[in-house]
Structure 1
Amino acid sequence: MTAKRNTPVALIRQAAPFAIRAERASDVVAREALLDACFGENRHARICQRLRDGRAPAEGLSLAAVRQDGRLVGTVRLWHVSAGGRSALMLGPLAVDDDCLGVGAALVQRALAAAKARGHGAVILLGDAPYYARFGFSAGKTGELSLPGAFERDRLLGLELVEGALDGAWGMITPTGAVPKVKASRTRKALLAVPHAA
């Protein structure tokens, strides 16, 4: 008679198929919900948010990961900054649905490839070094850079897409991205359409 062994089995989640595409205006609600779920409702108070507030993401560098059913399961954006006088991009936030394996890595790889193809020289971020090291990020050239507020020095990471792009970078990281044009409000449009009495 053969005895049954009670061997623990590790459950491996299957990666659901997904596609990465440019972010669309129709993604906003799902994107905001995913960011809230990943970072909490106080995410707007985070230090890197100060570099994004009132700025538009870098053109062509806002990506969304969507499943076959159209559900948004990941997002990443890159933003123009000055890294101590050096032109660079800031990566973040990167957010991924808990049930989706491989989405975060795929988004980062696609974002970095797109940034390089567009001629950008460097990308910096504030994040977990063990996770981002696999993409080539390190604190090697960010030691003289600062952010507008308290931050953990070992989490400020950089990646040169062009060799030497961060050489000699020192000082404050500041936003340089475009300020979105504000469209005229409906009220203003309505007022302009009403004929005025003389």
Structure 2
Amino acid sequence: MLASSWLIRTEVPSDLPQIEALQADAFGPGRFAKTAFRLREGVERDHRLCFVGMSDDVFAGSVWLTPIMIGDAPSQLLGPLAVSPAFKNRGLGRLLVNQSLKAAQALGEKSVLLVGDAPYYGPLGFEPVPLGRIQLPGPVDPARLLVANLQPGSEMPSGMVRGGR
């Protein structure tokens, strides 16, 4: 998918070293202690829903979706979303998120959860989770817990979040 000067494509195994380096630069070593990162431990990301952004032949960013359960409802956890500093504020992050949401919707996923900034993710289809509706197994700022319902008429999931299906 070509958008402006960006090429958005499905991640391939040879992208992993660049993705891991980008995530390390973007989030630092403290990322592993965060609740969202810990939910992903031992859970394989959904490779059908992981994308990278390229500018010509230069690796510029990536996004992952990982299968989770919210109560009894299957869902996906968005993140990490990372864009190389050289390409920030040029729309790549939004394109990556949009591509992952469209692909998840096409595969029948009902929702995508994330911990992030509402002003950034709101225009992409995410809404704040009402206090107490979704619980994570660790600390998280409730104002940063957001969900995108992907199927028309589907109800926002509720319950405790755990990694995997």
Aligned ranges 1:35-184 → 2 under 5 Å: 35-68=23-56, 70-100=57-87, 101-140=90-129, 143-167=132-156, 169-177=157-165
Look up the match of 1:10.
none
SS of the residue 1:54 aligns to: coil
Q: Aligned-pair distance for 1:55?
A: 1.2
The answer (yes or no) to whether the contact 1:65–1:74 under 8 Å persists in 2 is yes
The answer (yes or no) to whether the contact 1:81–1:173 under 8 Å persists in 2 is yes
Q: 1:24 aligns with which of 4, 9, 12?
A: 12
Query: CA separation of 1:105/1:148 partners in 2, compared to 1, >3 Å: closer, same or farther?
Result: same
Q: Aligned-pair distance for 1:140?
A: 4.3
* Root mean square deviation of aligned Cα: 1.8
SS of the residue 1:163 aligns to: coil
Q: Aligned-pair distance for 1:25?
A: 1.0
Partner Cα separation in structure 2 for residue 142 and residue 21 of structure 1:
36
Larger-Rg structure: 1
The answer (yes or no) to whether the contact 2:8–2:51 under 8 Å persists in 1 is yes
Q: Alignment length, in residue pairs? A: 161
What are the Cα deviations for residues 14-66 of structure 1, in whole angstroms up to 9, with x where unaligned? xx822111111111111111001111122122111111111111241011111
The answer (yes or no) to whether the contact 1:84–1:173 under 8 Å persists in 2 is yes
Structure 2: any 5+ residue segments left out of the alignment? none
The answer (yes or no) to whether the contact 1:75–1:94 under 8 Å persists in 2 is yes
With normalisation by structure 1, the TM-score equals 0.76
Structure 1: any 5+ residue segments left out of the alignment? 1-15, 178-198
Query: CA separation of 1:27/1:59 partners in 2, compared to 1, >3 Å: closer, same or farther?
Result: closer
Query: CA separation of 1:170/1:23 partners in 2, compared to 1, >3 Å: closer, same or farther?
Result: same
What are the Cα deviations for residues 84-122 of structure 1, in whole angstroms up to 9, with x where unaligned? 221111111100012221110100111111111111111
Which has more helix, going by share of residues? 2
Query: CA separation of 1:142/1:59 partners in 2, compared to 1, >3 Å: closer, same or farther?
Result: farther
Query: CA separation of 1:40/1:105 partners in 2, compared to 1, >3 Å: closer, same or farther?
Result: same
